[in-house]
Amino acid sequence: MIELLIQEQVWNLNKSFNISRGAKITADTLQVHLIKDGEKGSGECVPYSRYDETIDSVKNQIIELQLDIESGKINLNNLSSYLKPGAARNAIDCAFWDLKCKIEKRNIWSLLGEKMPNSIQSCYTIVLNSPDKMIDDAMKHLNFPMLKVKLDQNNLEECLKGIRKVSPNSTLILDANESFDFKTLDTNMDLFLETDVGLIEQPLSADKDGEILNYQSPIPICADESFHSLKDFELISNKYDSINIKLDKTGGLSEALEIKKQALESNKIIMVGCMVSSSLSMMPALTLCNNVKFVDLDGPCFLSQDIENGLVYQDGTINLRDSSCWG
């Protein structure tokens, strides 16, 4: 028998996290804990209103499956048959993986047959703000090899040129979070080339991205809000060069592993991304990062306090050997 516990967690942020569709000062998460034979496996998810999720709706999804999980009817191998991709499945799936590690006395890298690196390089997110504040933020993170720049249609030239001036060596990822129209994307492409943008993430809204079908962009375009799970590959095949794999979209590590495999076979550029949350959310995502071009797992950098035994970040380098909070 398994005991399932659900825990709501509110993480205070060290600054407002602003993107084109809004801002927040807390990260509201749900944690699932599975207890069996004295061992505890944990997973964390971030319900997201963009995908019609709330803390209560996701919590109710988990509660609906609680008895079947505790009885053993639902397990790691068949969870996807009972729950669609999304935050609820992510928390349960990752808790199952963590529990498996604890029971078998093996780390997640060993279970997956992957070599565990000592460290992984992640980008840092420059949140949407006035150009002066965004440039100042970039100056404070000069040692990060990659910067993700949150933008909308305003002040594009001032922000990008200013950030590139103070960060001449960083790879820049432009993330519009669906705030562009096609004209904004196309007419500013020379600016994006001039400032050496390496990737453009979700420029158009997901319901309008048909406008970039067969668009010959000189800079790779990445699907975030347009791509969630395995079934979306066909929908994005001739629109996007890259996909952002987030466990809260895929419904956990299990499907994310299959997505990564298919993306590599399809020659899609891979980004492994996250929501703003604790190291408990980052740890399973880190297992996807071998042979990946872009890693955006800086969520804990925005928390006033991370989970106990969380990840250690230093100038974009995540030290994997110093964390024991999962897997």
**Residues classed as catalytic:** 150, 246
Cβ within 8 Å of residue 229, ≥6 positions away: 85, 249, 250, 251, 255, 259
Q: Output the six-digit token pair for 19.
A: 């993107």
Please give the biggest Cα pair distance in the chain.
Answer: 60
| Mean pLDDT within 310-316 | 92
Beta carbons of 295 and 320 less than 8 angstroms apart: no
Q: 325, 306 in Cβ contact below 8 A?
A: no
Model confidence pLDDT, tens digit, residues 194-222: 999 999 999 999 999 999 999 999 999 99
pLDDT > 90 in the chain, percent = 95
Which pLDDT tens digit goes with each residue over 40-61? 999 999 999 999 999 999 999 9
Q: Do 3-105 and 119-322 have matching folds?
A: no
Other CB atoms within a 10 A radius of the CB of residue 71 amount to 10
Q: Please name the helix (run of DSSP H) or strand (run of DSSP E) that holds residue 127, with its range, or none.
A: none
What's the pLDDT score for residue 67? 98
Asked which of 120-129, 195-204, 238-247, 311-320 is least confident by mean pLDDT, the reply is: 311-320
- Section 73-97 average pLDDT: 98
Query: Could you identify the residue written with the tokens 């970040």?
Result: 313
* Range 72-96 burial, b when 16+ CB lie within 10 A, else e: eebebeebbeebebbbbbbbbbbbb
Q: Which residues contact 161 (CB under 8 A, 6 or more apart)?
A: 191, 194, 195
| The CATH number, out of the four listed (3.40.50.880, 3.30.470.20, 3.30.390.10, 3.30.1360.120), of the domain defined by the range 3-105 | 3.30.390.10
Q: What angle do CA 72, 94, 304 make, to 5 degrees?
A: 135
From CA 269, how far away is CA 221, in angstroms rounded? 9
Question: What is the pTM for the complete model shown?
Answer: 0.97
pLDDT at 162: 98
**Assigned token pair, 61:** 């999804």
- Taking the C-alpha atoms of residue 169 and residue 316, their distance in angstroms, rounded to an integer, is 14
pLDDT band at 324 (very low <50, low <70, confident <90, very high): confident
CA distance 188 to 152: 12
For 104-137, the pLDDT digits (tens) are: 999 999 999 999 999 999 999 999 999 999 999 9
Annotated domain spans of the chain: 3-105, 119-322
Helix (H) or strand (E) holding 112: helix 108-112
* Whether the Cβ atoms of residue 303 and residue 14 lie closer than 8 Å to each other: yes
The amino acid that residue 119 corresponds to is S
Q: Does the pLDDT at position 281 exceed 90?
A: yes
Residue 322 above 80 pLDDT? no
Query: Please, are residues 207 and 159 in contact by the beta-carbon 8 Å criterion?
Result: no
Beta-bridged to residue 10, according to DSSP, are: 28
Residue 303: pLDDT over 80: yes
User: Average model confidence (pLDDT) for the chain?
Assistant: 96
Q: Taking residues 75-101, what's their average pLDDT?
A: 98
Taking the C-alpha atoms of residue 295 and residue 282, their distance in angstroms, rounded to an integer, is: 11
Residue 321, pLDDT > 90, answer no
pLDDT over 90 at 237, yes or no = no
The sheet with strand 39-45 has its strands ordered as: 3-19, 22-36, 39-45
Structure tokens at 110: 């060993």
Q: How confident is the model at residue 298 (pLDDT cuts 50, 70, 90)?
A: very high
Contact 192/212 with Cβ under 8 angstroms? no
Sign of CA dihedral 56, 62, 64, 67: negative
Look at residue 310 in the predicted model and tell me its pLDDT.
93
Whether residue 320 has pLDDT greater than 80 = yes
On whether the 119-322 domain is CATH 3.10.20.30, my answer is no
pLDDT (tens digit per residue) in 147-167: 999 999 999 999 999 999 999
